[in-house]
């Protein structure tokens, strides 16, 4: 099967095409955002993946949205991540850091005391989010000044520098799920009247500047980007997401990224993979609820790998189980985000 053959994504060399998708697991230290020892064990157990893409990791204290998510902006965080990348590499794996700035998808109860909640416009997301104090409404964000935007682009660049210092093989820009990059792209969240809002070209500007900053560190062939056009998660709305993402991908295509990570959403009638193929010609990873056999049939010259989320939680040896066509263990959804080892590092290899 092609799933178990080697492939290349930019400078990344994958031993197989079974990728572990980024998944928030909420096991970092909540005070310092430092990755913990059980996180090291969690990723070590899954080093058999052709590539691990980490959970979303904030590039600054301002970028944090959820409780117990890790950062990549202090020396202590970098050192802890180095222990994790060393463990994955010792197991023969490759690992990429997903950089995630939540923007308005946040609450002060989950952040450091002086951290701010920033967004393109001062429009609160509808809904509530989990905090250690219970479910609370999303905070109303501050509209970012030009100085805030400049600093945030610099934060993404420094996070990339820090990721490579921590031993990561690459970095991925989280550009979906209603977080800051998607907030700049979308008409419902970006109502600015300056050079970062209004026209389509202006709404693309922030994402393109962030990508350029990330690529400037070690080259575009160690940078990926994750998208899901039309995803309404976290109260995201764009008047014409197909036009927005088509234009974005046409601008990104010449950058020659390591890969584009595309989440399909057929239940909403969206052909995100088709949209990506039309506007982007580089290597792709595809994601969302693939079976082993369906993943195998999806691979071609452009779609080099398939990422799996929930199956990797309950099956740390997922590539081996796929290869030997073994049954899969079932996930305990109640322990997805709870602190501790239960439902995290206690799933057994078959």
As annotated, the active-site residues are 179
CB atoms inside a 10 Å sphere around CB 120: 25
CB atoms inside a 10 Å sphere around CB 303: 20
DSSP structure string for 159-183: HHHHHHHTT-SEEEEE--TT-HHHH
- If DSSP codes are grouped into helix, strand and coil, which group holds residue 109? helix
CB 271 within 8 A of CB 290: no
Q: Which of 350, 312, 308 has its CA nearest to residue 331? A: 312
Q: Which of 225, 129, 242, 124 has its CA nearest to residue 183? A: 124
CB 315 within 8 A of CB 329: yes
Structure tokens at 134: 């219970």
CA 30 to centroid of chain Cα atoms: 20
Total residue length of the chain: 350
Tell me the C-alpha distance between 42 and 299, whole Å: 28
- If DSSP codes are grouped into helix, strand and coil, which group holds residue 47? coil
> Where on the phi/psi map is residue 192: left (φ > 0), alpha (ψ -120 to 50), or beta?
beta
Q: Which of 318, 293, 288 has its CA nearest to residue 93? A: 318
Please report which residue ranges of the chain form alpha helices under DSSP H: 37-45, 75-90, 146-165, 180-185, 200-218, 241-252, 272-279, 292-298, 310-314, 318-323
CA dihedral 343, 108, 100, 36 (to 10 degrees): -40
């Amino acid at each position: 099967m092609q799933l178990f053959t080697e492939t290349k994504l930019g400078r990344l060399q994958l031993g197989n095409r079974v990728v572990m998708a980024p998944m928030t697991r909420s096991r970092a230290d909540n005070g310092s955002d430092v990755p913990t020892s059980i996180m090291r064990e969690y990723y070590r157990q899954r080093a058999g993946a052709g590539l691990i893409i980490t959970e979303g990791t904030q590039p600054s204290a301002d970028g944090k949205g959820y409780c117990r998510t890790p950062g990549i902006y202090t020396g202590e965080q970098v050192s802890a991540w180095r222990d994790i990348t060393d463990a994955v590499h010792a197991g023969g794996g490759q690992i990429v850091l997903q950089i995630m700035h939540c923007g308005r998808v946040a609450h002060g109860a989950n952040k450091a005391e002086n951290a701010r909640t920033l967004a393109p416009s001062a429009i609160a997301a509808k809904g509530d989010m989990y905090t250690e104090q219970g479910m609370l409404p999303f905070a109303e964000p501050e509209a970012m000044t030009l100085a805030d935007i400049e600093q945030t682009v610099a934060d993404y660049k420094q996070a990339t520098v820090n990721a490579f210092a921590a031993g990561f093989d690459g970095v991925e820009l989280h550009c979906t799920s209603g977080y800051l990059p998607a907030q700049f792209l979308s008409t419902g969240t970006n109502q600015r009247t300056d050079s970062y809002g209004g026209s389509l070209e202006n709404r693309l500007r922030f994402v393109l500047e962030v990508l350029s900053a990330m690529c400037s560190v070690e080259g575009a062939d160690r940078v990926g980007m994750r998208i899901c056009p039309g995803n309404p998660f976290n109260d995201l709305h764009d008047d014409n997401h197909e036009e927005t993402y088509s234009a974005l991908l046409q601008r990104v295509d010449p950058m020659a990224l390591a890969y584009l990570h595309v989440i399909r959403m057929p239940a909403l009638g969206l052909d995100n993979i088709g949209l990506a193929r039309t506007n982007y010609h580089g290597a792709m990873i595809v994601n969302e609820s693939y079976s082993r056999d369906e993943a195998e049939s999806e691979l071609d010259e452009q779609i080099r790998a398939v990422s799996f989320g929930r199956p990797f939680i309950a099956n740390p040896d997922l590539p081996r189980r796929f290869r030997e066509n073994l049954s899969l263990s079932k996930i305990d959804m109640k322990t997805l985000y709870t602190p501790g080892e239960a439902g995290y590092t206690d799933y057994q290899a078959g």
